[in-house]
Amino acid sequence: MTEVISVRFRSGCKNYYFDPKGTQVEMGDQVIVETAQGPEFATCTQGNHEVEDDAIVRPLCSMLRMATESDRRTVEYNKKREGEAFDICERKIADHGLEMKLVNVSASFDGSKIVFYFTADGRVDFRELVRDLASVFRARIELRQIGVRDEAKMVGGLGICGRPFCCSQFLDGFLPVSIKMAKTQNLSLNPTKISGTCGRLMCCLKYEQNAYEDAAKRMPKLESFVQTPDGPGNVKSVDLLRETVKVSLDSAGPNDLFKTYRSCEIKLLRNGKGSREGIEIPDRPARYVEEREEEGFEMPVLSTPFYMEHALEDAPVREKMSHESGSDGKPRRKHRGGRRRSGSKPQDAAPPPRRPDEGRPKAAKPQQPRPEGKSAGAEGGDTKRRRPYYRNRRRSKGGPPKGD
């Protein structure tokens, strides 16, 4: 066992082991370590811990010291220098007419070396470009051609899942992905659906490949001859994720749909295509019954009781409402249109506005002569009596309403 610390450079995802030389380093501390390219600024991702000797690449580089405020200012200065170098290099590329795309610029901690990362379709002769850049920056210039996956890792972005790229977040290296993985997982073979932003197959196809391969070993192949609870048939579709199969029964009609069974409900008689001759058909397996817990009805618990007094606990709901509504025991009723049943008016209510013609004597209306021998209230007369309007009162059966 060897005591080491884990660090990361810049915004990389890969951890590197360094010898702390007896210094206690905590996670998140910034340190200066010795590399093959010289001293570099790094961030500790895991403090002092022990690892197996086989996990270490000899010789193990050591940590120089803890980073100081001066080292942090140097890092900020190098970032500004990288931005300026990116703009100058793009202008030089355009002047020389080179078919290359500049992706990123990285300067060493001591400023003695600047690395330019670019992508191109083929080989590019950039010897003249290197001379021009060396005369401008007075440092060692290095140009590295990278692939589209490395470009996506450096630039970053969002995938079709809505999350940042896996390669720029946590992947230490690029995983080998093949089109066979998409076939095993029953995915669409459309390149636009299974390809990432970089144009290559998505790295996430590798995540669940082992689970699909394990399920494929337990599930039958297409056109396998199986025995089901409803009789023998051939497998027409396999769902590895749910571990279910769709079977075309021999007893089914031409227009009948395929029936779905779980893997535990079928018996495999022949795996894959072939002849049924000499195959003995066993008894039908039992049907799978899913056990479900009985859902009991639970009464809701009210935080505040409906009644306010314990004496009204067994009283009807109407008495509880009336007791809460008023002290006189009468329930409160809502009035339509703001009208009140009683003739009393609130004392603080404002009187209605007075009309201009109010208070003036009204002109007498000419009276029509009545026919002789007949009164307005006589029964059997030709003149119809106007039906009175009773507000909030009902007319009694025995005669005119009270109060007339």
Higher pLDDT, 175 or 393: 175
Structure confidence at residue 73 (pLDDT): 92
pLDDT value at 22 more than 70: yes
Q: What mean pLDDT do residues 60-68 have?
A: 87
Sheet holding 30-35, edge to edge: 16-18, 2-9, 38-51, 30-35, 63-66
CA dist., res. 78 & res. 105, Å (int):
10
Q: Which amino acid, 333?
A: R
Structure tokens at 207: 């995540």
Burial of 366 (0-12, 13-18, 19+ CB in 10 A): exposed
Q: 95-109, 287-301, 333-347: which has the minimum mean pLDDT?
A: 333-347
Higher pLDDT, 82 or 12: 82
Structure confidence at residue 171 (pLDDT): 84
pLDDT band at 246, cuts 50/70/90?
Answer: very high
Q: 188-192, 324-328, 367-371: which has the minimum mean pLDDT?
A: 324-328
Backbone φ, ψ for residue 191 (5° rounding): -60, -30
300 three-state secondary structure: coil
Q: What mean pLDDT do residues 283-310 have?
A: 66
pLDDT band at 58, cuts 50/70/90?
Answer: confident
Q: pLDDT for 134-157, tens place per residue?
A: 888 888 999 999 988 888 888 888
Within 10 A of 279 (CB to CB), how many other CB atoms are there? 13
Sheet holding 140-145, edge to edge: 101-107, 113-119, 140-145
pLDDT value at 296 more than 70: no
CA dist., res. 134 & res. 114, Å (int):
9
Structure confidence at residue 295 (pLDDT): 63
Q: What mean pLDDT do residues 171-191 have?
A: 87
291 three-state secondary structure: coil
Task: Report yes or no: 38 and 9 within 8 Å, Cβ to Cβ.
Answer: no
Pairing of strands 16-18, 101-107: unpaired
pLDDT value at 7 more than 80: yes
